[in-house]
Structure 1
Amino acid sequence: MTAYAVAHMRQATLGPEIVEYLHKIDATLEPFGGRFLVHGGAVEVVENSWPGHLIVIEFPDRDHVRGWYNSPAYQAILALRTENSQADVIFVDGVEHPHKATDVLE
C-alpha cells in the first residue's frame, strides 16, 4: 500500500545548510521510489490557521519510506534540515481504492 512521508514545515532558515539539503535530498529518495507530491508552495487556508508549508513525499509502501528515512544517505543530510527548521514529520499509509469515508468504521 502506498505510504507517505508528510512534513508540516513550520519554520525554515533558508541558509547554506537548507540549500545543501535541497540539493542532496532527491538522490536519497530515488533508491526507495520516493517522489515529491507537494513541496511547499502557497496554501489556501479555509479553516483555522496553517503556519508554514506542507511537504508530501510518496513511496511504494511503509517499508520503503522507513528505509529511505533510516538510510545512511538520508541520515547524512538530516541534520542540515533539523538544525535549521522546525517541522512535524509523520509516516502514513494511503488507502486502497475505491475507498469510502465509512470504511474507517469497519
Structure 2
Amino acid sequence: MPAYVIALVDVLDEEAGWAYARAAQPSILDHGGRYLVAGPVPEPAEGSWPSSRLQIIEFPDMDRVRQWYDSPEYRRAKEIRDGKARVELLFAEGSPPEGFTLPS
C-alpha cells in the first residue's frame, strides 16, 4: 500500500535550504520516493496555513518511508538543515478506496 510523507517547511536560511534539498532528494529517490507536490506558498482555502512550503512525497509502502527516514543519507541531510529550517513531517499510509461512496 502506498505511503506518503507530508512535509510543512519554513526555510530560515535559503542557502542551507538548497543544500538540504540537494542532499535530501537523492536519498528520497534512492528509496523509491517520488515528489507529488513540492511548491512554495500553499494557498489556504479555509483557515490559516502554518508553513510557507508544502511537500507531499509518495513511497511504495510505509517500510520504505521508515528506511528512508532512518537512512544515513537522510540523517546527513537533516544535519544540514538543523536550525536553518522548521520542518513538520507526517507519515500517512493509504490510497483512495475503490468504489468509495458515502452511505445514503
| TM-score after normalising by structure 1 | 0.82
**In the aligned structure 2, how far is the partner of 1:38 from the partner of 1:25?**
15
Runs of 4+ in structure 1 off by over 4 angstroms are: none
1:17 aligns with 2:13: no
Is the contact made by 2:33 and 2:60 (CA closer than 8 Å) also made in structure 1?
yes
> 1:17 deviation in Å?
1.9
Give unpaired runs (5+ residues) of structure 2. Answer: none
Q: Which residue of 2 aligns with 1:89?
A: 89
**In the aligned structure 2, how far is the partner of 1:83 from the partner of 1:77?**
12
**In the aligned structure 1, how far is the partner of 2:54 from the partner of 2:101?**
23
1:100 aligns with 2:103: no
Q: Which residue of 2 aligns with 1:80?
A: 80
Q: Secondary structure at the residue paired with 1:40?
A: strand
Q: Which residue of 2 aligns with 1:68?
A: 68
User: Structure 1 residues 101, 78: CA separation in 2 closer, same or farther (over 3 Å shift)?
Assistant: farther
Q: Which residue of 2 aligns with 1:26?
A: 25
User: Structure 1 residues 23, 58: CA separation in 2 closer, same or farther (over 3 Å shift)?
Assistant: same
Q: Secondary structure at the residue paired with 1:47?
A: coil
Structure 1 vs Structure 2 CA RMSD: 2.0
> 1:41 deviation in Å?
2.9
Is the contact made by 2:23 and 2:73 (CA closer than 8 Å) also made in structure 1?
no
**In the aligned structure 1, how far is the partner of 2:49 from the partner of 2:101?**
24
Identity score, percent: 32
| TM-score after normalising by structure 2 | 0.84
Give unpaired runs (5+ residues) of structure 1. Answer: none
**In the aligned structure 1, how far is the partner of 2:93 from the partner of 2:73?**
23
Q: Secondary structure at the residue paired with 2:40?
A: coil
Farther-moved stretch of structure 1 (40-49 vs 58-67): 40-49
